[in-house]
Amino acid sequence: MLIRSADASLTEQLSARFGQRIRDRLLSPGARLPSVRQCAQSQGVSPSTVVAAYDQLLAQGLVEARKNRGFFVRDQQKSTLKSAFRQSGYADVAIDSVANEPRPPVNATALIRGMFHRISDKPQPGMGVLPPDWLDSTFMPAAVRKVTSTQNLRAFSLQYGEPAGDTGLRRALSHKLANWHVLAAPEQIITTVGATHALDIVSRTLLRPGDPVMVEEPGWAIEFARLQALGMRILPVPRLADGPDLAVMARYCEVHKPKLYVSVSVLHNPTGYSLTPGAGHRVLQLASLHDFHIVEDDTYSHIAPDHATRLSALDGLQRTIYVSGFAKILAPNWRVGYLAAPTSLVERLLDTKLLSSLTTPALLEQALTVCIEQGHLRRHAERIRTRLDQARARSVKLAMAAGCQFVSEPAGLFGWVDTGTDTDALSQHMLDEGYLLAPGSLFHAERQPGTLMRINFATTQDAAFWKVFERLRKAA
């Protein structure tokens, strides 16, 4: 809440609050600021204070006033283009066309920026990771000490590691994947700086600007943004309970000839859906018939049932490329991920890795190997799954008591819920209370306001959050 202080006036505090949200992209270009009356009521200040704060934002070039409509976040990219085009004598209609192509990944990165800029010390329902205290362990520091005490630390620092990644880790990953019936020799595995880096390596290797790519929708916001930033044509495929909408995929194949399909088969983000064997086989038939590759993002493998259906297992890594990492279950900041690919693609993928990051940190890769080989990771994952099951049960009860309905059966880390109100607008009011939401519009290729949102079961067990949520939802 705003505080009456000699250091900064209420106007300055309110202006600074909105200005920071705009800079952090929690308010994206084109977003409408609350009306003067709404803002005055929610912030507990006078309308004149709000008008003065909005005037300061206008003076800073962060917002623009639209007659009889209100105040909107200014699109800095479009404003820059307009200035340049006017100097060149072009019309505004051309400006809008160029400014919107390609579309910047502003909306998709909002949640990530919110993760790095702490809103408050409260549990955050929109976060995409487990709480730090869930991941805290003694075995990870012990693994690092073991590696640095038995090896010459200078060897890690004064020379590059192996191009494909630490040999010991790739052997351990090969054995681990076999438990999920994904048969990959160590030579087919490349370590990366997290799973996102692995996805980027695949895209930069197999695609060129303008290539059509099928991506599940709703889906991971950053994947849409990343592909758009690379200049790809996004073909959204509706994600159903048993897998992708095969009829839509078939039409895309006939009309657009896609080069790639990006899928989260197990514990899909944000719905929690998991692929069925029947749907998986039909996807592979389409891939064979229309000659496209499949990237299977198995980020949530450690909290999923071992028997879950994976395209890479059904396919034997013929057209599939398997991607995963350890940020969700072990250590987000270690940034250790990997991919397993068909033998025919390994050298091309490795070349792209070398161009983007040279090698990956051998010290952390060897420490991770210790965690896997000594069974620490497996036991840790079992504890997390048990704790998450309990958290999910509590969170579901609280969400339903607060008036939410689950669109899909609750599973895994995330819940996909219908709130009955515009979650884009609601998210801005929740920020004032210290909570970061993940509105459903973030998970679509073309952002449209709606009533859905994604919740993290591990961070929504607090009844205090749901009381605030219910109060603001009813007010909306």
| DSSP-derived secondary structure letter, 60 | T
Structural domains of the chain in order of their starting residue, each with its CATH number: 10-99 (1.10.10.10), 108-128+379-475 (3.90.1150.10), 135-374 (3.40.640.10)
d(CA 369, CA 31): 46
Beta-bridge partners for 293: 260
Query: Quick one: angle between helices 343-357 and 194-206, nearest 10?
Result: 110
Inter-axis angle of helices 376-401 and 362-373, to 10 degrees?
90
Q: Both tokens of residue 413?
A: 């880390």
Do residues 205 and 345 make contact, with C-beta atoms less than 8 angstroms apart? yes
CA 425 vs. chain centroid, Å, equals 20
Residue 314: pLDDT band (50, 70, 90) is: very high
Least confident of 106-110, 128-132, 218-222: 106-110
Give the C-alpha separation, 237 to 138, whole Å: 42
pLDDT one-digit tens code per residue, 321-378: 999 999 999 888 889 999 999 999 999 999 999 998 888 988 899 999 999 999 999 9
Q: In whole numbers, what is the pLDDT of the chain averaged over residues?
A: 87
The model's pLDDT over 377-392, given as tens digits with 9 standing for 90+, comes to 999 999 999 999 999 9
Confidence class for position 235, pLDDT limits 50, 70, 90? very high
pLDDT tier for residue 88 given thresholds of 50, 70 and 90? very low
CB 202 within 8 A of CB 226: no
Q: Is 331 left (phi over 0), alpha (psi -120 to 50) or beta?
A: beta
3-class state of residue 190 by DSSP? strand
Cβ neighbours for 404, distance < 8 A, ≥ 6 positions apart:
417, 418, 419, 420
Tell me which of 457 and 18 has the higher pLDDT: 457
Block residue for tokens 């990219």 = 77
pLDDT for the residue numbered 209: 94
**Distance separating alpha carbons of residues 71 and 278, to the nearest angstrom:** 51
Contacts of 306 (CB under 8 A, 6+ apart): 179, 180
Say what the pLDDT of residue 101 is: 37
Q: Is the predicted pLDDT of residue 420 greater than 80, yes or no?
A: yes
Confidence class of residue 178 from pLDDT cuts 50, 70 and 90? very high
Q: In percent, how much of the chain has pLDDT > 70?
A: 88
Residue 91 has pLDDT above 80, yes or no: no
Q: What is the pLDDT of residues 59-82, one digit of tens each?
A: 899 999 988 888 989 876 555 444
What's the whole-number mean pLDDT along residues 428-454? 88
Q: Residues 72, 64: contact at Cβ < 8 Å?
A: yes
- CA-derived radius of gyration, the chain: 24
pLDDT at 195 over 90: yes
Pick the closest to residue 467 from 122, 130, 132, 133 (CA basis).
122
Contact 195, 186 (CB under 8 A): no
Q: Which whole number is the average pLDDT over 170-179?
A: 96
